[in-house]
């Protein structure tokens, strides 16, 4: 009887955790990384109006491009993705599409700088361009960190023994990683004049 009890306890020990703590810890880590992605996108959205105003002073006839940038920014700030929506692929895609439109519009701003060389030498423009470049780098790092956290979370909820607690106790569902926009593997075309 004692031997059976000892064997049962020995066999049950590896199953003791079953994701009780690891699943919510991994989920909260992924949600925190998502908050960093959102903060970096918000930083970009906050910088865009200043960039647009600076460019307006130099490139009045480029109002179409400036309107596109402003509209893309407005749409992106209206498209919200909460941490609870991170397991809904359609909502994640809608958020990614809105942010991709902002990125595409910013390429047009870069094209304007080639048409207006005096704009490139303007200190305000240079400072804003530097801030945007830094923000784009931050966004890329945040997305990478988020995707790594999602990979870790998704692995935990799908592997033994944590998958037991993930399904039975937490009802865990896989989170959606952030993916690149279609065509982002090609460099944007820069047009002069």
Q: pLDDT averaged over consecutive 10-residue blocks of the chain (193 residues)?
A: 71 61 90 93 87 73 75 87 89 90 81 70 76 89 95 92 82 87 56 42
Q: Tell me, yes or no, whether 86 lies in a domain.
A: yes
Residue 183 lies in a domain: no
CATH code for the domain of 62: 1.20.1440.20
Range of the domain at 51: 33-144
Distance of CA 68 to the CA centre of its chain: 22
**Domain contains 125:** yes
19 domain residue, yes or no: no
The pLDDT score that the predictor gives to residue 33 is 94
- 124 part of a folded domain: yes
Query: What pLDDT score does 193 carry?
Result: 42
Which two three-digit tokens encode residue 146? Answer: 């988020």
For the CA atoms of 102, 103, 105, 111, what is the dihedral angle to 10 degrees? Answer: 160
CB atoms within 10 A of CB 101: 19
What's the structural domain count of the chain?
Answer: 1
Q: Is there a domain that residue 10 lies in? A: no
DSSP 149: H
At residue 27, the pLDDT reads 93
Structure tokens at 78: 């209206």
Structural domain contains residue 129: yes
Domain assignment of residue 166, yes or no: no
Spatial CA neighbour of 135 closest among 111, 113, 106: 106
């Amino acid at each position: 009887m004692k031997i059976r009890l000892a064997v049962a306890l020995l066999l049950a020990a590896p199953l003791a955790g079953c994701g009780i703590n690891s699943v919510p810890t991994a989920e909260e880590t992924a949600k925190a990384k998502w908050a960093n992605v959102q903060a970096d996108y918000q930083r970009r959205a906050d910088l865009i109006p200043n960039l647009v105003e600076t460019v307006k002073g130099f490139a009045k006839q480029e109002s179409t491009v400036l309107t596109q940038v402003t509209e893309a920014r407005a749409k992106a700030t209206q498209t919200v993705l909460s941490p609870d929506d991170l397991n809904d692929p359609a909502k994640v895609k809608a958020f990614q599409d809105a942010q991709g439109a902002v990125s595409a519009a910013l390429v047009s701003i870069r094209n304007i700088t080639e048409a207006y060389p005096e704009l490139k030498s303007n200190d305000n423009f240079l400072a804003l361009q530097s801030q945007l470049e830094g923000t784009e780098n931050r966004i890329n790092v945040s997305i990478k960190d988020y995707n790594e956290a999602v990979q870790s979370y998704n692995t935990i909820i799908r592997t033994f023994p944590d998958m037991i607690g993930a399904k039975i106790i937490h009802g865990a569902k896989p989170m959606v990683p952030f993916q690149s926009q279609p065509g982002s593997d090609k460099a944007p075309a820069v047009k002069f004049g």
